[in-house]
Amino acid sequence: MSAEPLNAGPLVEVRDLVVDFPVGDGHVRAVDGVGFTLEAGQALGIVGESGSGKSTVAYGLLGLHRGTGARIGGSVRVAGVDAVTAEGDELRRLRGGLAAMVFQDPLSALDPYYAVGDQIAEVVRVHRDVSRKEARARAVEVLDRVGIADAARRSRSRPHEFSGGMRQRVLIAMALACEPRLLVADEPTTALDVTVQAQILDLLHELRAETGAGLVLVTHDLGVVAGSVDRVLVMKDGRAVEHGPVTEVLGTPREPYTRALLSAVPRVDAPEAPGATAVSAGGDVLLEATDLRREFATRGLARRTAPVTAVDGVSLTVRAGETLGIVGESGSGKTTLGRMLVRLLEPTGGRLHYRGRDIGALGEKELRPLRRELQMVFQDPVSSLNPRRTIGESVADPLRIAGETDERRIRTRVGDLLERVGLDADWYHRYPHEFSGGQRQRVGIARALAPEPRLIVCDEPVSALDVTTQAQVVELLGELQRDLGLALVFIAHDLAVVRQVSDRVAVMRAGRIVEQGDADTVYDSPQHAYTKGLLAAVPVLDPAEATARRHARLASATA
Amino acid sequence: MTRFLLRKAVGMLGVLLVLSLVVYAVFYIAPGDPAQLACGEKCSPAQVAQVRERLGLDAPVYLQYAHFLQGLVAGRDFSAGTGLLHCQAPCLGISYRSGEQVTDMIAARLPVTASLALGAMVVWLILGVGTGLLSALRRGRLSERLLTALTLAGNSVPVFVIGLVLLIVFCAQLQWLPFPTYVPLTEDPQQWFWGLLLPWISLALIESAKYARLTRSSMLETLADDHIRTFRAYGVSERHLVTRHALRGALTPVIALTAMDLGALFGSAVLTESLFGLPGLGKLLVSSVSLIDLPTVVGLTLVTGFFVVLANVIADVLYAVSDRRVVLT
């Protein structure tokens, strides 16, 4: 890439960028006058909540809005190329050659039909005049660079044969393939577990130091930018709210919005509102699991393989009025456990006592009367509500199932429930798509509350929500628990959120609980090495602290 | 893979067995005495009884069915007036009507229907998938609208209308094509091709609108996938995006639909066959049903059923070949 004149200008220069998307007859403004510059070798974090326009800005750097019907205003120059007007070969050189994108969701961002090495080689051949064989060699080289063990062999594997973290590495390798001067990473760690997230962020940091490339890191997670960028741009509703060095924006934010955003971030290092939930803890034992197990048989008559053990001997108790947090990384069996606790799944081993009665092996008929006492709130507020029915009908379902037939009483009760979760009682006739993610999750909670349960299992109830919404929903759950004396089982991968809501915490790994106890004890003095590792990987908001932790990780990795 | 094929083969046997049972049952419930029909209206009761015995119709139903299965596996003998008529395995019995062996009757007509169905498939895939791709890639342009209109029109007009119009225009008026006849491929490939061209086109026109729609929607869906965006963001050209990355995913549902249609066509191309005077399976099936010719109907049902199942197994294998994430078990 030495042919590119290293002119005096900055690597990226965005001025008054405006992006309008066509909607029906009109347009909606996604980005409204954003401007920034980025020098070579520097890193900029663009943070904001969903819909703030942060990804739209990132796509604009590669001219990816071209041909989509979007209207672009202002100017975008990347490494001397005008991304708004460049055509043909120049545009293609910009994409991948000068600036490369690391996409979110590494499963869908790769072609499922081809080996990853071939996909990277294809990109190499777009930008370099090399033979097929040389391109393949380059692919293996970059795969090796991003830490794929046995890269030559693994380059022949297809995307589905990699784990989430490894796929993200493959995407980074693809971005590196043509030695671009700028890396644009769009939520590169959002789908990953904390420990893997830390590895990927460390890798990006290392590569930047090594290649001298610039980095634009787009994320909703303020903790992610803290240790990874030099400057931060905070976006809200398409506008740049605050822009400055990372230490200043995160340390001494000037804008109220930035401050609100920061205060909504749950902290893993200090309990939020101590005593608020602890008061109600210590009631009677409601649910007791003893050596609970669940195996899933793998399908197929002839090729019978060993069954997969999702939950491998878990014992826990849930007391009336307390919150038990269950944390663990993906695949640790926490969802399977949660579903067994409300008997959506039948355990294959162990005992499950609810109020002294063994419900582990009860048939559907005997479970029926107990169902209303054990409810569940699901992760995805979009798919857990029927899009063709009004939210009022969805909330009324449990009432009708319980045998309520008086339409007036149902209406009144649903109205009360909607108000209870902070929605308007008059919204009975609205459909799920008319609501935001947070509101939909409130509907899900109202539905769970409808049959007056004693226990609600919340499976990742806030992981699909923005931090400010997340804080509101968490607050609502705490409030409901205090008012109604509910027992909650709160399942999440986010350690900070779990600490915020839980009286007691259980840490899961590979189907087992490795550590459980009082929340403060587990977080402040973890006993198990796995818990310690998890806590060390949680991104912190203090840039200096984040850098110190990175050094500690690297030191322990090389030691 | 071998295990998969074995399991499918066993499944196929089961399906065929059930099929034959159902056809047997239906015929014994249906009105009409096969012996009377086979003998003719002027037969005396004695003659009818004789025919009944000769055809084995005097035995209980379950025995008749057992004999049928036996013939299928090992062959069987029929008394034919003076001597014995040996029917080799796989024996599907003897037509009540013509006295011919059903296996021979089907074997004679199978190449006709196979030629018709396979050729039509090629035409409808070219026409339908082509239209679908074009309309996905050139949305709203004139060429797209014309092709879509053409396939839709083809879909909404019955085959005997399209076929007749094509016959009148291309064979009678313009005399560009010979009137369709069936010449075996092994005899003269050129005549085989020209003789079947019109039937292929008529049949394909009916089918292609369906394929155009399916291809279009599945192509648009695939083009909106994240991995297409990835390669676009790396400067891969649009043409390359379509041919290398989108096409493969977009054609998977087309494979499945083709398999089902092709299999079904073996027994249901009767309108096309009649219109163009092609002696195929569909025509034979319709006439046998109206004549209550049980052995022929059962035989035809089994053969068409066999092709339906076979086409689906082939589709499964193609699925797994095109998408390595699919594991055949």
Q: What is the pLDDT of residues B127-157, one digit of tens each?
A: 889 888 888 887 777 877 887 788 788 778 8
Q: Based on the domain organization, do A251 and A379 belong to the same domain? A: no
> Do residue A127 and residue B322 have CB atoms under 8 angstroms apart?
no
Q: Is B230 on the interface with A (CB under 8 A)?
A: yes
Query: How many domains, in total, are found in chain B?
Result: 1
- The beta-carbon neighbor of A299 closest among B248, B323, B329 is B329
Owning domain of residue B156: 103-322
Q: What is the DSSP letter of A485?
A: T
Contact A398, A372 (CB under 8 A): yes
Q: Extract the runs of DSSP E, i.e. beta strands, from A173-266.
A: 182-186, 214-219, 231-236, 239-245
> Do residue A158 and residue B3 have CB atoms under 8 angstroms apart?
no
Q: Based on the domain organization, do A77 and A203 belong to the same domain? A: yes
* Residue B61 vs residue B261, higher pLDDT: B261
- The beta-carbon neighbor of A96 closest among B235, B249, B323 is B235
Q: Is A133 on the interface with B (CB under 8 A)?
A: no
pLDDT digits (tens, 9 = 90+) for B255-300: 888 888 888 888 778 888 888 888 888 888 888 888 878 888 888 8
Owning domain of residue A162: 103-179
Give exposure, A233-264, as e/b (b: 16+ Cβ within 10 Å).
Answer: bbbbebbbbbbbebeebbeebeeebbeebbeb
Domain stop point among A179, A214, A244: A179
Q: Based on the domain organization, do A519 and A558 belong to the same domain? A: no
Query: Is B75 contained in some domain?
Result: no
Query: Is A338 contained in some domain?
Result: yes
Contact A486, A462 (CB under 8 A): no
> Do residue A103 and residue B244 have CB atoms under 8 angstroms apart?
no
Q: Which residues of B touch A62 (CB under 8 A)?
A: 233
Query: Please, which pLDDT band fits residue B81 given cuts at 50, 70 and 90?
Result: low
Q: Based on the domain organization, do A389 and A343 belong to the same domain? A: yes
CATH of the domain at B170: 1.10.3720.10
Query: Is B80 contained in some domain?
Result: no
Query: Is B149 contained in some domain?
Result: yes
Query: How many domains, in total, are found in chain A?
Result: 3
Query: Is B91 contained in some domain?
Result: no
Which residue, chain included where needed, has tokens 């990853």?
A: A116
Q: Is B139 on the interface with A (CB under 8 A)?
A: no
Q: Is B239 on the interface with A (CB under 8 A)?
A: no
What was the pLDDT predicted at A302?
44
Contact A351, A282 (CB under 8 A): no
Q: Which residues of B touch A299 (CB under 8 A)?
A: 329
Contact A213, A180 (CB under 8 A): yes
> Do residue B233 and residue A123 have CB atoms under 8 angstroms apart?
no
> Backbone phi, then psi, for A355, in 5-degree steps?
50, 45
Query: Is A530 contained in some domain?
Result: no
Residue of B nearest to A103 (CA): B230
Evaluated on CA atoms A536, A538, A539, A540, the torsion sign reads: negative
Query: Is A302 contained in some domain?
Result: no
Q: Based on the domain organization, do A432 and A477 belong to the same domain? A: yes
- What single-letter amino acid sits at A330? S
Q: Point out the residues of chain A with pLDDT beneath 50.
A: 1-4, 273-280, 300-302
Region label for B302, one of left (φ > 0), alpha (ψ between -120 and 50) or beta (otherwise): alpha
What was the pLDDT predicted at B182?
85
Considering only CA atoms, which of A165, A50, A166, A90 is closest in space to residue A465?
A50
* DSSP output for A267-320: PSSS-SSTTTTGGG----EEEEEEEEEEEEPPP-SSS-PPPEEEEEEEEEEEET
Q: Is B140 on the interface with A (CB under 8 A)?
A: no
> Do residue A108 and residue B235 have CB atoms under 8 angstroms apart?
no
Query: Is A115 contained in some domain?
Result: yes
Query: Is A534 contained in some domain?
Result: no
* DSSP output for A370-413: HHTTEEEE-S-TTTTS-TTS-HHHHHHHHHHHTT---HHHHHHH
Domain stop point among A179, A205, A231: A179
Q: Tell me if the pTM is above 0.80.
A: no
Q: Which residues of A touch B230 (CB under 8 A)?
A: 101, 103, 109-111, 171, 174
- The beta-carbon neighbor of B249 closest among A100, A113, A171 is A113
Residue B9 parent element (H or E): helix B2-29
pLDDT digits (tens, 9 = 90+) for A8-59: 578 999 999 999 988 878 888 999 999 999 998 899 999 998 888 999 999 9
Question: ipTM > 0.85?
Answer: no
Q: Is the pLDDT of residue B38 over 60?
A: yes
Instruction: Please enumerate in sequence order all residues whose Cβ is within 8 A of that of A5, keeping only pairs 6 or more positions apart, or say none.
Output: A80
Instruction: Please enumerate in sequence order all residues whose Cβ is within 8 A of that of A308, keeping only pairs 6 or more positions apart, or say none.
Output: A295, A296, A298
Residue of A nearest to B2 (CA): A302
Considering only CA atoms, which of A332, A242, A345, A234 is closest in space to residue A289?
A345
Query: Is A311 contained in some domain?
Result: yes
> Do residue A103 and residue B249 have CB atoms under 8 angstroms apart?
no
Query: Is A373 contained in some domain?
Result: yes
Residue of B nearest to A65 (CA): B233
CATH of the domain at A24: 3.40.50.300
Beta strands A71-78; A43-47: pairing state: unpaired
What was the pLDDT predicted at B324?
67
Q: Is B245 on the interface with A (CB under 8 A)?
A: yes
How far is residue B232's CA from residue A526's CA, in Å, rounded to a whole number? 47
Query: Is B247 contained in some domain?
Result: yes
> Backbone phi, then psi, for A445, in 5-degree steps?
-70, -40
- The beta-carbon neighbor of B227 closest among A96, A110, A123 is A110
CA distances from A93 to A557, B229, B243, B327 (A): 37, 16, 21, 39
How far is residue A258's CA from residue B125's CA, in Å, rounded to a whole number? 57
Q: Based on the domain organization, do A175 and A215 belong to the same domain? A: no
Query: Is B43 contained in some domain?
Result: no
Region label for A145, one of left (φ > 0), alpha (ψ between -120 and 50) or beta (otherwise): alpha
Query: Is B44 contained in some domain?
Result: no
Domain stop point among A157, A179, A201: A179
> Backbone phi, then psi, for A63, in 5-degree steps?
65, 30
Q: Which residues of B touch A188 (CB under 8 A)?
A: none
**Cis peptide, bond prior to residue B90, ω within 30 of zero:** yes
